[in-house]
């Protein structure tokens, strides 16, 4: 039995730039971006898929970083919260979060922002009740959720007014 973990070489487009790394097969995507790529905006809360803090975009769609083995992502486009923010993908969502006081400690916030982004893509007509149901996959210990829902409601309203 080998003393070392099984590894795979993966080439990914990370936040727009091509990166090749050797990664332990058992390492999940959240640990990969945090430890191997130095991007610590993706957070770990539960490591079994319920808290939503580990959200990452893979090929444009939201996934759980803790439930994705990085070794399976050869050829994928990965966008972390840093990349989404730098690329201007979530400017209006960030602004609404600030305006509505939707962040306190900030631990859930990257996951919430990406969940909001995913909601805008999948359910742009969502009602307040549907926003709340969509966000059931993201836990927050600080805000009591209302300001987060308020912020997202405001974003959807504003986006719908764009001709």
Partner 1 sequence: MKAANVRIARPATVEEALALAAEFGPDAKFIAGGQSLVPALNLRMASASVLIDLAALPSMKGISEEAGQLVVRACTTYTQARTHPKILSSFPLLAKGIGHVAHAAIRNVGTVGGSLALADPAAEMPAMALALGARIKVLGQAGARMVEAESFFKGLYETDLADGEMLAEVHWPTERWDAWGFQEIARRRGDYATAGVILLARARPEGAPEVRICAFGVSSRPCLLPKTAQAVAEAIESGRTADDAVAQACTELDIEADSHTPAETKAHLLRVLLGREVKALTESYRERL
Instruction: Choose the binding region for partner 1 from 5-13, 84-92, 96-104, 154-162 (rule: CB under 8 A).
Output: 5-13
Name the minimum Å distance from CB 163 to partner 1: 26
| Nearest CB to partner 1, comparing residues 72 and 101 | 72
| Nearest CB to partner 1, comparing residues 19 and 122 | 122
| Nearest CB to partner 1, comparing residues 6 and 125 | 6
| Nearest CB to partner 1, comparing residues 85 and 138 | 138
Q: How far is CA 71 from CA 68, 74, 145, in A?
A: 9, 7, 34
Lay out the sheet containing 77-79: strands in order across: 17-24, 7-14, 77-79, 55-58, 61-64
Interface pattern 61-90 for partner 1 (x via CB under 8 A): xxxx-xxxx-xx------------------
Residues in contact with partner 1, counted by CB under 8 A, come to a total of 32
* Interior angle at CA 37, CA 33 and CA 39, nearest 5: 60
| Nearest CB to partner 1, comparing residues 9 and 101 | 9
Question: Which of 87, 98, 105, 136 touches partner 1 (CB under 8 A)?
Answer: 136
Interface pattern 13-52 for partner 1 (x via CB under 8 A): -----------xxxxx--x---------------xxx--x
Chain residues that interact with partner 1, rule: CB under 8 A: 5-6, 8, 24-28, 31, 47-49, 52, 55, 61-64, 66-69, 71-72, 115, 118-119, 122, 133-134, 136-137
């Amino acid at each position: 039995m080998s003393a070392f973990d099984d590894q795979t070489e993966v080439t990914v487009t990370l936040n727009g730039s091509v990166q090749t790394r050797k990664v332990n097969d058992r390492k999940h995507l959240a640990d990969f971006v945090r430890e191997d790529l130095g991007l610590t905006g993706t957070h770990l809360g539960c490591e079994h898929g319920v808290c939503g803090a580990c959200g990452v975009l893979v090929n444009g769609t939201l996934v759980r970083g803790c439930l994705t083995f990085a070794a399976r992502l050869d050829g994928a486009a990965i966008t972390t919260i840093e990349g989404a923010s730098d690329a201007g993908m979530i400017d209006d969502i960030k602004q609404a979060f600030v305006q509505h006081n939707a962040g306190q400690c900030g631990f859930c916030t990257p996951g919430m922002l990406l969940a909001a982004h995913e909601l805008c893509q999948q359910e742009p007509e969502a009602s307040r009740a549907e926003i709340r149901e969509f966000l059931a996959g993201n836990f927050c210990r600080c805000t009591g959720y209302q300001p987060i829902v308020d912020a997202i409601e405001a974003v959807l309203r504003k986006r719908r007014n764009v001709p």
